[in-house]
Amino acid sequence: MLRFPTLILLLLVLTPADALAEADAIERGEYIFNAAGCAGCHTDLKGNGPLLAGGRPLETPFGRFYGPNITPDPQHGIGAWTDEQFVTALKTGVSPAGKPYYPAFPFTSFNRAKPEDLLDLKAYIFSLPPVAQPSRAHELRFPFGWRPLLWGWRMLNFKPATFAEDPNQDVQLNRGRYLVDTLTHCGECHTPRNALGATDADRRMAGTVAGPEGQTVPNISPHPDTGIGAWSVADLTSLLKSGLTPEFDSVGGSMGEVVEQSTSRLLDEDLEAIAMYLLSLPSIDNLIAKPSTE
């Protein structure tokens, strides 16, 4: 809580220019927040839970995770975190107490984010209402509940990096690569994983029958028969905007959520960049049988 004299002091030092800069950061941060779909895993929508207050179950082969409370509540959320702690958590997957995070939190993609984007993201999250609700403990299978195992996992599977523009690629492909590989983290679901739960870099976007919540995730590499090689940029952009495939099927499950909470809220030029980049990736022949519809 701010004490009265502190408030006066703050008002004295916070010039209108600072206030405006802060408002800009919050607005940019909201866009990053939507692109990254932070709300999805951290909000118990089915249980009508408050925004970002946690409790959403995520089923994985290792057990059930619950997205924690990341509202700015200082006790139950992340309200007491400094900028540095927030950036470190997303860029390195390590908590302020020095504990490693499970890759069910896609820091494995977010780590490449530009630090300035993460600061804007924090400004937005900290502008939202705090919720005093404790996070739920994960329910993991033995031995995965033992967090220090993750140090070993990280040595094998995680190399933090920051996105760098590729001067040999045009602006649009660079933007698409940043969005797909970092913020919108398409590969966290569309790239198959090895036995250790790490994404297989040689089979990017090739699809898997063992996706999140046990869902079948289609091949979205540009293979003409087993992937989306026959789709145009317009087909893809329109799916990301509306959730409708070129055959007018609507995508469901976790992709329905991605469209609703993330891609439908992005600018058309960003959706186009995503589509152009995806269609420029290596084509991988991997037939993923469509799940039977109930």
Contact 176, 166 (CB under 8 A): no
Nearest approach in angstroms of CB 262 to ligand HEC is 7
18 or 249: CB nearest ligand HEC: 249
Task: Quickly count: other Cβ atoms within 10 Å of residue 164's Cβ.
Answer: 11
Based on the shown chain and the rule CB under 6 A, indicate whether residue 68 belongs to the binding site for ligand HEC: yes
Only one of the segments 21-29, 37-45, 169-177, 192-200 lies at the binding site for ligand HEC (rule: CB under 6 A); that segment is 37-45
Task: Tell which one of 112, 175, 177, 190 touches ligand HEC (CB under 6 A).
Answer: 190
For CA atoms 236, 112, 101, 194, the dihedral sign is positive
Task: Tell which one of 25, 255, 273, 281 touches ligand HEC (CB under 6 A).
Answer: 255
Based on the shown chain and the rule CB under 6 A, indicate whether residue 271 belongs to the binding site for ligand HEC: no
Only one of the segments 19-27, 153-161, 192-200, 244-252 lies at the binding site for ligand HEC (rule: CB under 6 A); that segment is 244-252
Task: Quickly count: other Cβ atoms within 10 Å of residue 197's Cβ.
Answer: 16
Based on the shown chain and the rule CB under 6 A, indicate whether residue 217 belongs to the binding site for ligand HEC: yes
Based on the shown chain and the rule CB under 6 A, indicate whether residue 29 belongs to the binding site for ligand HEC: no
How far is Cα 243 from Cα 250, in angstroms, rounded to an integer? 5
Binding site for ligand HEC (CB under 6 A): 36-38, 40-42, 58, 65, 67-68, 70, 78, 89, 95, 101-102, 104-106, 110, 121, 180, 184-186, 188-190, 211-212, 215, 217-218, 220, 228, 236, 239-240, 245, 251-255, 258, 263, 274, 278
